[in-house]
Amino acid sequence: MNIHVYILKLKSGRLYVGQSTDPRRRFFEHQSGTGANICKHDRPMEIIFSQDLGTEDQKIALYFEDWVTICMKRKFQSSQVTGGAYCNDQYLWVNNEWLMAEIYRLNEWFSRLSNSRPGVDINEAIISFINWSDPIGTKLK
């Protein structure tokens, strides 16, 4: 089964980025308190974004989840977004320079990936996320 990256809107208004082969099932796990730690204290209200990555490759999914998390942290106040490798409290308040360096690092990884794994193309997922997130300010109010 292909892996999806999803974004949940939590009760507090914060956003949580995750990945799963079944985002709806995972959403209900988060709601019941058996998912990520943050969702045990700040329950998810809805899935606001879900993208099929077109692959079962866990490494690609983890990097894409991190990329989406960092892009969302840059778009909003850093403390309002969590997910992937950035769930730790040390990533609550990070500056824009650090976020840009992380985006650059992940973009480099995606570039190397597309050259090293024939048949794996996540460009459609990246474009879909960018198109979705561009007007996101109005979707979250």
User: Is residue 140 in a domain?
Assistant: no
| C-alpha span between 63 and 65 (Å, rounded) | 5
Q: Is the pLDDT of residue 140 over 80?
A: no
At 21, list the tokens. Answer: 């082969």
Model confidence pLDDT, tens digit, residues 16-49: 999 999 999 999 999 998 888 888 889 999 999 8
- Residues whose CB is less than 8 angstroms from the CB of residue 61 and which lie 6 or more positions away in sequence, other chains included: 3, 5, 19, 53, 55
Model confidence pLDDT, tens digit, residues 78-110: 788 888 877 766 555 566 676 677 777 777 766
User: Is residue 26 in a domain?
Assistant: yes
> How many C-beta atoms lie closer than 10 Å to residue 90's C-beta?
8
Q: Is the pLDDT of residue 66 over 70?
A: yes
User: Is residue 141 in a domain?
Assistant: no
List, as one string, the DSSP characters of 78-129.
GGGEEEGGG-SGGGSS--HHHHHHHHHHHHHHHHHHHHHSTT---HHHHHHH
User: Is residue 112 in a domain?
Assistant: yes
Supply the pTM of this predicted model: 0.75
* Number of structural domains found in the chain: 1
User: Is residue 103 in a domain?
Assistant: yes
User: Is residue 92 in a domain?
Assistant: yes
DSSP β-ladder status, 4-10 and 81-83? unpaired
> How many C-beta atoms lie closer than 10 Å to residue 6's C-beta?
23
Closest to 109 (Cα-Cα) out of 67, 58, 51, 56: 67
Among 47-51, 112-116, 128-132, the range of highest mean pLDDT: 47-51
Mean pLDDT of the chain: 78
User: Is residue 36 in a domain?
Assistant: yes
User: Is residue 40 in a domain?
Assistant: yes
H or E element at residue 76 = none
Q: Domain residues for 60?
A: 4-135
